[in-house]
């Protein structure tokens, strides 16, 4: 699935009140609505309107669900949801995010060897990201995201050294493996409370990660390794299947509404994936993504990335890792996609926020 890096949304922007969230649609249709997420997150901050529609709010439980008190708190939420069915539950997990600190034994599973002390900080990582392109893009320096905890973490790695990059990548993988174990506990509790079999369960993410790809780290660009995220759905009555093709984060809302037999407002963004899930219909053909100093438009297997005045062109069916920039070889395709990108932005201006 295609998603934009979450940190591309500037703090303080309010969600347009004319745009209904999935939670609001379900609340209006009689669903009890629960959220287990951090209340302080810049991206999930409820002062930005993201609390709309939720009837029950609690802090993030999944990341520490192995503790008896959090497991019991989660069980109580599920039991309440079962008693107040139909219900919608939103669970947010931070475990795969940087700074990567997987729980034992997964902190060593993918990372043999010792961590090496270096002088680099998170700010230097971000500065490196933009300095790599500053001469070509004339990009403005990114605003500092001062975070002492991250700074201290990244001081352990010299990201110009392959062994340290391998170590960092192994810790990232270990974090994902740690999260797998926590989700297992959630699924077990869903089964124990009688919710699992008849529930639609959707697992997805807001971004991936650069781990040396294109010389970059963390997440702030629309390269595939950052915006190609999982979309895993368990739908009662549908057999397991892998569906290849383009899907987008905006497609989740109309998909859920159709699965539940609910109507969305006219002009709702996104395309329901239900027909394709049933083996018929087509997937979306285009997708837009916004980074900190870049944006992209994908059309079919072609993808244009724009860094201010610099443009990159990739053919993803032949080059899924975006190693071969075809912009110089295919100027007519760059012009075509640039026009499509301009048209998309003109048609969507002002739709996301006030």
Radius of gyration of the chain (CA): 21
Which letter does DSSP use for residue 191 in this model? H
pLDDT of residue 112: 72
Q: What is the 3-state secondary structure (H, E, C) of 17-43?
A: CCCCCHHHHHHHCCCEEEEECCCCCCC
Is 3's pLDDT higher than 80?
no
Query: Model confidence over 146-161: pLDDT tens digits?
Result: 566 677 777 788 888 8
Asked if residues 228 and 2 have their Cβ atoms less than 8 Å apart, the reply is yes
CA of 11: how far to CAs of 45, 92, 127, 295, in Å?
9, 19, 20, 19
Asked if residues 287 and 2 have their Cβ atoms less than 8 Å apart, the reply is yes
Query: Model confidence over 262-277: pLDDT tens digits?
Result: 988 877 888 999 998 8
pLDDT band at 6 (very low <50, low <70, confident <90, very high): very low
Query: Model confidence over 83-102: pLDDT tens digits?
Result: 998 999 999 988 888 888 88
Read off the tokens for 178: 């740690």
Asked if residues 42 and 50 have their Cβ atoms less than 8 Å apart, the reply is no
Q: Comparing C-alpha atoms, which of 75, 42, 177 is closest to residue 58?
A: 75
Is 55's pLDDT higher than 70?
yes
Is 41's pLDDT higher than 70?
no
Rounded CA-CA distance 286/332 in Å is 18
68-83 and 162-192 helices cross at what angle (nearest 10)?
50
Query: Model confidence over 235-267: pLDDT tens digits?
Result: 999 988 888 888 999 999 999 999 999 988 877
pLDDT of residue 354: 35
Q: Beta partners for 306? A: 295, 311
Phi, psi of 112 (to 5 degrees): -65, 145
Q: By mean pLDDT, which of 78-82, 160-164, 296-300, 325-329 is the weakest? A: 160-164
Query: Model confidence over 175-189: pLDDT tens digits?
Result: 999 999 999 999 999
Read off the tokens for 147: 């975070």
* Residue 49 neighbours by CB distance under 10 Å: 16
Fold of 6-348: Alkaline Phosphatase, subunit A (3.40.720)
Q: Comparing C-alpha atoms, which of 149, 154, 32 is closest to residue 89?
A: 32
Asked if residues 5 and 293 have their Cβ atoms less than 8 Å apart, the reply is no
Mean pLDDT is highest, among 52-56, 267-271, 328-332, for 328-332
Is 163's pLDDT higher than 70?
yes
Torsion of CA 176, 277, 255, 96, to 10 degrees: 0
Is 230's pLDDT higher than 50?
yes
Mean pLDDT, rounded, for 197-220? 91
pLDDT band at 8 (very low <50, low <70, confident <90, very high): very low
- Bigger pLDDT: 110 vs 139: 110
């Amino acid at each position: 699935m295609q998603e934009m890096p979450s940190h591309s949304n500037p703090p303080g922007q309010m969600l347009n009140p004319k745009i209904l969230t999935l939670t609001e649609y379900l609340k209006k249709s009689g669903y009890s609505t629960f959220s287990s997420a951090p209340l302080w997150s810049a991206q999930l901050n409820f002062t930005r309107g993201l609390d709309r529609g939720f009837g029950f709010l609690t802090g993030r439980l999944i990341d520490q669900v192995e503790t008896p008190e959090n497991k019991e708190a989660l069980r109580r939420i599920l039991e309440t949801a079962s008693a107040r069915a139909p219900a919608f539950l939103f669970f947010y997990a931070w475990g795969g995010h940087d700074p990567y600190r997987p729980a034992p034994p997964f902190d060593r599973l993918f990372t043999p060897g010792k961590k090496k002390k270096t002088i680099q900080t998170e700010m230097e990582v971000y500065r490196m990201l933009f300095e790599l392109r500053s001469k070509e893009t004339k990009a403005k320096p990114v605003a500092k995201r001062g975070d002492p905890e991250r700074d201290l973490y990244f001081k352990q790695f010299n990201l110009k050294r392959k062994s340290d990059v391998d170590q960092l990548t192994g810790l990232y993988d270990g974090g994902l493996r740690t999260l797998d174990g926590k989700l297992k506990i959630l699924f077990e509790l869903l089964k124990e409370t009688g919710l699992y079999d008849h529930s639609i369960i959707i697992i997805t993410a807001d971004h991936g990660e650069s781990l040396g790809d294109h010389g970059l780290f963390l997440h702030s660009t629309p390269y595939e390794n950052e915006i190609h995220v999982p979309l895993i759905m368990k739908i009662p009555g549908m057999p397991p299947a892998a569906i290849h093709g383009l899907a987008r984060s905006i497609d989740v809302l109309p998909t859920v509404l159709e699965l539940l037999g609910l109507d969305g407002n006219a002009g709702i963004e996104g395309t329901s994936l239900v027909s394709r899930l049933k083996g018929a219909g087509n997937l979306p053909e285009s997708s837009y993504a916004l980074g900190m100093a870049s944006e992209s438009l994908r059309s079919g297997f072609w993808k244009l990335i724009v860094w201010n005045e610099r443009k990159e062109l990739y053919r993803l069916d032949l080059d899924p890792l975006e190693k071969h920039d075809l912009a110089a070889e295919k100027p007519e395709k760059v012009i075509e996609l640039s026009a499509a990108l301009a048209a998309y932005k003109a048609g969507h201006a002002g739709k996301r926020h006030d």
